[in-house]
Structure 1
């Protein structure tokens, strides 16, 4: 009996050996990959990443991970670079109910471009977009994670459609209650078309008291500092941040509010009064108060240079339905009416605005990548435009690492979600983009996409190409229908 007992004991010891213990089971392993540590602005080579469900469950040296883990699917990452999923933090859907299907067709364009989360900054289809948000979350509609403001707050009889019109503090209170309790919005958008300046500030303060983040356009009758003091969370569009650098911004705002100057004169004086020291003081205040800036710089660049490029040969046009393309005409026609002096002024203004990007970064202001892509915003193509935006950031003075952070970490940071998004480590969401080149060396590498992982599901290059081809086919059919007699 003793030899038999010894044999059994030896067998049990072998089975219990850590070296031969059963491997842990994941769903996907990405092997031999170089991880881009965006926060640390560095790369880590020869790594493996294990995904299970929607989670990253293990990250480490490839040999160690391969020993301890197995999975149903392996993605080969040799010679490639893995970054967190991209976020476009300023998009729009709209154009009226007849454009719902053309807007919905834009959703796969984001995923095909590595964008796993988008922030809808309000259009004229707010209820439809909120419905899409729910459908994407429950898996019945394909698209990136969709975060939305719902309907924006505006004054009475505003320029923009799809708004909640408010003319009193009581109406602001009711609007915010609706957005928070009924629509359960992810943030509140407040614009400046007709909203009274005092109600703009009141809305910011009340939203903050309710725990709602706010983004918006700052009325000309207010200083940027007043909006920051009232609690605005993100300033949308770089020109509002640029205005904070004017030495006499307060006097200009007061003159505009009193009707002594018009908008054109106010803008001229703001441009003429820009001062670096004044700007840096303002931007340090932004940083101290936790205010982010979403430049939407590429959209402004497109409009500024329409006299040089009519975009008639853009490849992106093939992905935009004919009714959505028609909404581009409004801005194109406005730009075409400008005389030579106005054209020169807008060329100069876009360069002046872009010059503050490094200043914002130096002051510690978080810069958010957002495109302004969608209806009305001419030739700023959903999905593709984010790569244009961050390439422009790098061209105007940000490092590639800063530009990449604006599209991977700034969005989660604004929502307070850096414990779940924006890095590649256990416990994070399995939203990833596998690139063929290193974006820390050249930010245009974000275009060189091999694979996108969204909520743990792998979309390889063939699947991404099919998303693009399917959208192009739908648009071609709409074009043919529109052209039919």
Structure 2
């Protein structure tokens, strides 16, 4: 009889109800998961984090039977989204500003941004080093993807470049960036770069499967860059330019020296045509070309005449030498007369009006801020939320805006298998919000906690990051 009871007990312990639970690092209970891909809410979910990935997502009852988390947080009444991506940031200002630039990294995390795309400044080697240090855990910051040094012409105005003056130079630059620096994409700009070499660089990178972005030379049409293989168009001005009916004639006249840049811009400003634009944007979509509007930085500069940023609380998080780099844009904007100010406002409104047209044409819109040195009051971290607010103000739905900051980045890098959703097997990069971002995009600012690479940073930890940065800036200010 004793043997019979022992055998029966063993059967009970071996049954699913009595099976040993799997260990986990974290459970977020009773939360509403935002399915960004479909724009829906899934209420009453428990999310299990194990290591740096999401191990399970399901109802609390089902999860409780299978998992034993070391830590549990209550998500009731809150909303869980994938980690945010800022797909256009800059670090720079010269070697003297390295530490002030490094101090920006926690600001991204404190604002729910778990991945950033560095679009090249003048500290490319330093930024690539940070990329590795963040990846191996010796430097705190969001996952960093970088172009390294940008490709430019000979003696460009921008520092931190690989200068090229021939096709052989372009080939060598791509080899260096791809093979030695192992960059995540290549940035090409147009300060002194021959337009033909610009197209050649795009074509060579495209042929090797390397993603590219850049500033398109005035002497080319946007369509030429798209046909050559550019992967993303940075800044709305270029998308607007693609919608100008006589863009080809303007580009030809500029290339021939018949008009200067000011005249070319004047003709572009008055030449926009909706039908031309929609045809161009449908071509973007067909060829998989994404657009990063960077509206917030443009809006800030456009309204410097009436908006005083000198008392912005966020300035206490920006080092004094970085703040100093803001001056050149501020001073230039201050020189405008009433007509110039009105023109600046009108120009921004024209650019912003393109946004819903891109969405209508099926173009993937990427959220990126252009935050960093030089770009006045466009703050690392906060700027992404400002960008999303602008997206909705200018015609996107909250769902579209949220997707631009959670799914567009992974899609551009071909990483949707790992990022961009709260689902089993995805990266444990998550943001817990107090409000519903599908109802009001400003809910992305109501951050209760961030999970990055599987580690939880609650509100107290996020506030501590901000306090530590503020203390660093205060110390720099005292000696500056």
TM range (shorter): over 0.9
**Corresponding residue of 1:33:** 31
| SS of equivalent residue, structure 1 residue 326 | helix
The match for 1:266 among 239, 264, 267 is: 264
| SS of equivalent residue, structure 1 residue 303 | helix
**Corresponding residue of 2:302:** 304
Cα distance between partner residues in 1 of 2:268 and 2:404 = 27
Deviations 1:128-149 (A, max 9, x none): 0000000000000000000000
**Corresponding residue of 2:97:** 99
**Corresponding residue of 1:244:** 242
**Corresponding residue of 2:316:** 318
**Corresponding residue of 2:373:** 375
Q: Give the TM-score normalised by structure 2.
A: 0.99
Cα distance between partner residues in 2 of 1:226 and 1:82 = 41
Cα distance between partner residues in 2 of 1:463 and 1:457 = 11
**Corresponding residue of 2:471:** 473
**Corresponding residue of 1:13:** 11
CA displacement at 1:310 relative to structure 2 = 3.0
**Corresponding residue of 1:290:** 288
**Corresponding residue of 1:396:** 394
1:220 is aligned to 2:252: no
Cα distance between partner residues in 1 of 2:474 and 2:228 = 48
**Corresponding residue of 2:134:** 136
CA displacement at 1:63 relative to structure 2 = 1.6
Cα distance between partner residues in 2 of 1:254 and 1:333 = 33
Cα distance between partner residues in 2 of 1:37 and 1:382 = 26
1:412 is aligned to 2:410: yes
The match for 1:362 among 360, 363, 370 is: 360
CA displacement at 1:21 relative to structure 2 = 1.4
CA displacement at 1:336 relative to structure 2 = 1.3
| SS of equivalent residue, structure 2 residue 477 | helix
Larger displacement relative to structure 2 (221-230 or 61-70):
61-70
Cα distance between partner residues in 2 of 1:67 and 1:14 = 15
Larger displacement relative to structure 2 (303-312 or 457-466):
303-312
CA displacement at 1:469 relative to structure 2 = 0.4
CA displacement at 1:464 relative to structure 2 = 0.1
Which structure 2 segments of 5+ residues have no match?
A: none
Cα distance between partner residues in 2 of 1:52 and 1:205 = 42
1:209 is aligned to 2:207: yes
CA displacement at 1:340 relative to structure 2 = 1.7
Cα distance between partner residues in 2 of 1:403 and 1:256 = 36
Cα distance between partner residues in 1 of 2:429 and 2:73 = 14
Cα distance between partner residues in 1 of 2:125 and 2:289 = 28
CA displacement at 1:276 relative to structure 2 = 0.7
The 5 Å alignment of 1:12-91 reads 12-91=10-89
**Corresponding residue of 2:121:** 123
| SS of equivalent residue, structure 1 residue 192 | coil
CA displacement at 1:309 relative to structure 2 = 1.3
Cα distance between partner residues in 2 of 1:373 and 1:291 = 22
- How many residues are matched? 480
Deviations 1:399-439 (A, max 9, x none): 00000000000000000000000001111000000000000
CA displacement at 1:5 relative to structure 2 = 2.5
CA displacement at 1:17 relative to structure 2 = 2.0
CA displacement at 1:267 relative to structure 2 = 1.2
CA displacement at 1:269 relative to structure 2 = 1.0
CA displacement at 1:19 relative to structure 2 = 1.4
Cα distance between partner residues in 1 of 2:205 and 2:131 = 22
Larger displacement relative to structure 2 (271-280 or 15-24):
15-24
Displaced runs of 4+ in structure 1, greater than 2 A?
none
CA displacement at 1:333 relative to structure 2 = 1.2
Cα distance between partner residues in 2 of 1:125 and 1:16 = 59
Cα distance between partner residues in 1 of 2:308 and 2:160 = 29
1:433 is aligned to 2:434: no
| SS of equivalent residue, structure 2 residue 155 | coil
**Corresponding residue of 1:333:** 331
| SS of equivalent residue, structure 2 residue 416 | coil
CA displacement at 1:168 relative to structure 2 = 0.7
Deviations 1:17-47 (A, max 9, x none): 2112111211111101000000010100000
